[in-house]
Structure 1
Amino acid sequence: MPHSNTADRADKGDAAHEVLAGVLRAHEGRLHVLLWQRAQPPHEHRWALPGGRLRADEDVETSIRRQLAEKVDVHKLSHVEQLSVFSAPDRVPGHRAVATAFLGLVPSDVDPEVPADTAWHPVDEPPATAFDHERITHAARARLSAKLSYTNIGFALAPAEFTISELRGIYSAALGYEVAATNLQRVLTRRGALSPTGRTMPAGPSGGRPPALFRFTNPGLEVTDPFAVFRPPTGRG
């Protein structure tokens, strides 16, 4: 009986272990992911998540932070967490590779310097991606969307200080649907996640009350309402 492709791959020895990062940022009203364009086959010219092989002397989080700093100049993520392990035998051609994927977040007012082959792309309109990296990107967005409901993870997407209008734009970009500013402020304030700074932005050219500046009370991840779920607005009619 002939061997299956899966068996043939397994016979080649232990799987390689790589780490990958879905680095996300809210920018100009959309959620973007950081990708680099491959120059060599397989999947030449396709776009890939940053990362690489796990070294024998490092754990997976140390590895992804090192590789982001070395390859795409992301030295300091505002938040990083392990996302999932992707281990389908055929997820990459050739020798089997298991990937430990991470979710990384960059504040909206930070624009890391990246190499010429690296760029931010809208998550909802990605270019042709390599391997299973589009699937990993969607998993990263799903994790972020879920955590925006029940934690204060918005701190990792927002500047240190912001108006409620700016925060509404960030949440809308990350969730993929419009969020009401007054409802967002009410929910986050009730949970103790949001605090006024006592300062305001300059009034616009049309005058009016200067918008107040807010900050996240705790610039570190915490569960604020374990049973909360943000939902898109329902249509009428």
Structure 2
Amino acid sequence: MPVWERPEPQPRAAPVPLNRAKIAAAAIRVADEHGLDGLSVRKIAKELGVGPMRLYDYVVNRSELLDLMVDAVYARIAEAGPQPGWRATVLDIMHRTRAAALDHEWFADLLGARPHLGPHALAVGEATAAALSQAPAVRDIDDLQRTLGALNAFLAGALRREITERRTARATGTDLSAWQAAHGPYLQRMLATGRYPTVARLVVDGAHLDADETFRHNLTTVLDGITEREGA
């Protein structure tokens, strides 16, 4: 039986009461600090102040634990209030998802890995699909499936790239400015050869947007492309 439908174990007389929500919250704190590779039953139990074996009354394996953690993050995304129209609804959900992923970087590692079927994940999926189904170019279920697939692919790719850049900067102690300073002279010499004219235009004349502006601009471009196709 899926963890979502399995009843919580009966409360026991113990100094520290447990439930799945409490376990998920502790696991999220551990993952936020140590990443998914550092997530272990022992660390979660220590965070809760209980013995590790008690956790197996509530989750039978790591997959169930990840499901609970992911759905707890989706609960935050699902808090989006009603927006004026389908487009505003989709944009709000996408921006909330990005904000949640930046707060819980491990969340992006699990996007697209497998379907998320918890109640809050399903609520977010329903809200997104219902909004996109109202776009003028989405005429039938096939259009809706393709549109959802393209939007989710963009979201997973954009979040993973942004979070990978953040992790790299932390691991190397080199931010974007320092990286540009270190590699700038080499890049200038290569561009001066004239062999890469289009890359040169991008580097010299292209807008250098910050992460917020980049996500907002690219999301708008993708949404325009998949919901307002010419001739649709």
- Interval of TM-score (by shorter of Structure 1 and Structure 2): under 0.3
TM-score by length of 2: 0.25
TM-score by length of 1: 0.24
Larger relative contact order (CA 8 Å, sep ≥ 6): 1
Larger radius of gyration: 2
More helix by share: 2
